[in-house]
Structure 1
């Protein structure tokens, strides 16, 4: 009787979801200039999202936020619920975090898992540092190479396609980001339209010709709260002052939208809502909206169709959304809608 009961318990344990061999996260192989420094581990018991880390010679020494490891880049992947139970291949979206955020923050995990539930979509969140600005820096100085664009587009993307069951084609790849990541998503899509079929910005600073955006970016470079060590204000795009500001002008996503022709394009922004409540986040969102308006105007001038959710104080966009810059309820609604666009359900 006791032996029969023990056998039954063992069978139940081995057949439970947590005991299945296919419940382990994928084992990743080095390649494309990336060395895996930490193999994947599930972030929680739901076993949809795992985190791993890599090193790269393109950004060997990123500036660090508290808790980040020198020379190691965390990458977070959220899988479809049935990834371990089928041999299907899946479309992929790349989600670029904002400043001074990180890919392994819990709110990013929540947003992605809620938005992609039941969709069959893989989401990859690469490290962009507190101040990487998703660009190959022109004056990195003592920081050493900071080639974030090369790292992400020429290393992370083929690495993911080689190690996971992805649909490795432009038609099945999207890119989106929040704040600094919204800039990065448009920046990458404009530089490599052959890689992406959809691009989205959640409150991105898209206009590098805007003096307020320039001030915000240069502040992140010299502010220790954005990561240590700090760097010079001209590190990413060179001098922001005329007549030495050619890189800023040339790399402005709002002014290169012609390269997005044939892509699904989406913009999302609030207006900051009540400016007396959380005024810093309110002003950041209000200014980001101005860059979205410039981008929208240039898209219209180019005859390029796009979606624009300009949701004001957020009251009509989602419950709890206040129209501010890093409002999780707003970003959740943004991501929910973008995922529907990518998967053809909008």
Structure 2
């Protein structure tokens, strides 16, 4: 299956795709796919100057055979030569914005089109070569979503590039880059600079401390086969570039306390090696248990905005250095970034923190973070019409069997008390769909929603989400 995932203007253009039209992705659905059932997700990234067809092509990743029997939805998005990075471009940070495209558009579009299991253990990201860098880096950009990262012959140590890409290795990388010299400074910035360090998987190893990682690389040999002249570039890329980078990255992950497995065997930097490596990764287990909600972690970034576990963040200005977020219990601290940072938690709490600074993340949702709505004027004006969305996804509703759903909507009064404003009872076999409605003509203000579900099969009742703060809109 092929889908189109549009990009915002200026992010990913035809110039960077290698063909005309909107960015696209290949999607492999599991055998016996049921659109009413939720599945694990594998986001699989391609290598340098490949496109979204690389993994699905029979001469490439041959994903239908390679991942046969994997009961998951596999999404293979466009990557072109973008390095899955928002490009430095001389410090302007303009032009290709591949990491923003993948995180802000591809993943939300996938979640909109397909039912994906919500737990992070059921979300994996993997890639080969340049895609290995993308998997390692983006897995650390969104650690609360991806439980496993798979790096297949990955380009994962940016500091190794200037020291090793010389002679035959330079020629090999130029050949693999469609004959064009490989200029990583346009992408990652000056060697050793903060922007490069903020995209280098080796230096960001601690971002994956709560994530399972599988790595594999070849050693530049094919066992008893002789090296053919046409394979020189693939030999040089794997043995002189990929292998030493993989060794460094595995060591950095272990030093950071990451659960990592690194397999090294015979193989060139060709299409056969990552096929074998992906099969081994599937046997290793892409969707094994992980800590869903750790309360102690660190995350280093140079991104202007992003999401970490239970909150989103946005700096007032692009950071001018690598910035560290650290959580220890309920305390969240942010290092110096050159500008304040805005934090919005899943519970609706909003903060603007001067950096460096810290806040306490509350256990309960916020009910007073937003200013109270102004009192209505004493006039003949038509009463304000407001809405409350009851989408099941927003309420965190996960019900698979026929059930009776009772929803109580309470409004916060001026005295600070909650008063029931509306009740709703539904008897349905598909609560996720039926709750996708809006209640109109409610006064402006702050609301909370209490959802209770009674299974018609077992007769048991349970509260799915209590006191969820919802703002009328």
Query: If the length of structure 1 is used for normalisation, what is the TM-score?
Result: 0.71
Question: Equivalent of 1:296, from 237, 250, 256?
Answer: 250
1:128 shift after superposition: 0.8
Q: Establish whether residue 283 from structure 1 lines up as the match of residue 227 from structure 2.
A: no
CA distance in structure 1 between the partners assigned to 2:70 and 2:235 by the alignment: 33
Secondary structure of 1:55 counterpart: coil
Greater CA drift, 158-167 or 211-220: 211-220
248, 265, 279: which one aligns with 1:336? 279
Q: What residue is the counterpart of 1:188 in the other structure?
A: 138
Q: For residue 62 of structure 2, what is the aligned residue in structure 1?
A: 111
Question: Which 10-residue stretch deviates more, 173-182 or 57-66?
Answer: 57-66
Counterpart of 1:101 in structure 2 is 50
Count of residue pairs the alignment pairs up: 277
Q: What is the alpha-carbon distance in structure 1 between the residues aligned to residue 211 and residue 93 of structure 2?
A: 35
Change (3 A) 1:88 1:65: closer
In structure 1, C-alpha distance between the alignment counterparts of 2:218 and 2:152, rounded to whole Å: 9
Bigger Rg, which one: 2
The answer (yes or no) to whether the contact 1:103–1:125 under 8 Å persists in 2 is: yes
- Residues 146-191 of structure 1: CA deviation (Å, up to 9, x unaligned): 1111110111111101111221442211000000000000010112
Residue number among 198, 208, 213 corresponding to 1:250 in the alignment? 198
- With over 3 angstroms needed to count, the CA separation of the structure-2 counterparts of 1:343 and 1:237, relative to structure 1, is closer
Residues 172 and 232, structure 2, Cα contact 8 Å, conserved in 1 = no
Residue correspondence of structure 1 range 76-87 to structure 2 within 5 A:
76-84=26-34, 87=36
Q: Distance in 2 between matches of 1:215 and 1:221?
A: 8
Q: Is the Cα–Cα contact under 8 Å of residues 186 and 199 in structure 1 kept in the other structure?
A: yes
For residues 156-305 of structure 1, what are the structure 2 equivalents within 5 Å? 156-212=106-162, 215=165, 226=178, 234-240=185-191, 245-273=193-221, 276-277=227-228, 278-286=231-239, 287-305=241-259
| Structure with the larger RCO, 1 or 2 (CA within 8 Å, 6+ apart) | 1
Contact 1:134/1:181 (8 A) holds in 2: yes
Which of 57, 61, 71 is the aligned partner of 2:13? Answer: 61
Which of the pair is proportionally richer in strand?
A: 2
Q: Matches of 2:175 and 2:218 in 1, distance apart? A: 26
Deviation, structure 1 residue 342: 0.9
RMSD after superposition? 3.3
The answer as to whether partners of 1:207 and 1:254 remain within 8 angstroms in 2 is yes
Aligned equivalents of 1:264, 1:90: Cα separation in 2: 19
